[in-house]
Structure 1
Amino acid sequence: MPAETLDLRDVPPSERHPKIHSAFESLASGERLEIVNDHDPQPLFYEFQAEVEAFDAENYRCERQGVNEFVATLPKQ
């Protein structure tokens, strides 16, 4: 179960990544952040993989659940 879920579909694009990074930083080791987005968050995955040392890229998951609904799980090592 995720430690926190962020529904970003109504958040302005310029505020999304800072909000995600802040929420991820507040997680304890072994917890996960779940985000709900209106598009595939693949660029966010690459950003986390390159910039966030505690990001567990091997256990990242993303599922499309609707036309404009993607749910991604970002685990913290």
Structure 2
Amino acid sequence: MSSASVATTIDVRQIPPRERHPLIFETFTRLSPGQAFRLVNDHDPKPLYYQFNAEFPGSFAWDYEEQGPDVWQVRISRTAA
């Protein structure tokens, strides 16, 4: 589990799907190394993990805090600039 401080929580359950990933990536790019945000979703955001891995390889940490079945929470932290 990451020790990064959580800067904010983004609950995407009520956000239109087309707006979710841009909001999540914008939030991530604003983080300084050592900061994190919490993502709350109604399903496993595993495809988002793969997108992070492609866009920001080696510069993020992905830590599940809750794994369903109804609510999924992930702490996403910036580990490098």
TM-score by length of 2: 0.81
Q: Tell me the equivalent position of 1:29.
A: 33
Q: CA RMSD in A?
A: 1.5
Aligned partner (choices 50, 54, 57) of residue 50 of structure 1: 54
Structure 1 gaps of 5+ residues are none
User: What aligned pairs does 1:1-77 form with structure 2 within 5 A after superposition?
Assistant: 1-53=5-57, 55-56=59-60, 59-62=61-64, 63-64=66-67, 66-77=68-79
Q: Which of structure 1's runs of 4+ aligned residues deviate more than 3 A? A: none
Structure 2 gaps of 5+ residues are none
Deviation of the 1:60 alpha carbon: 1.4
Deviation of the 1:53 alpha carbon: 4.2
- Give distance in 1, aligned partners of 2:15 and 2:7: 20
- Give distance in 2, aligned partners of 1:36 and 1:67: 12
> How many residues of Structure 1 are paired with residues of Structure 2 in the alignment?
74
Higher strand share: 2
TM-score by length of 1: 0.85
Residue deviations 1:16-69 (CA, integer Å, cap 9, x gap) = 00000011111111101110001100000110011124632xx411222x5321
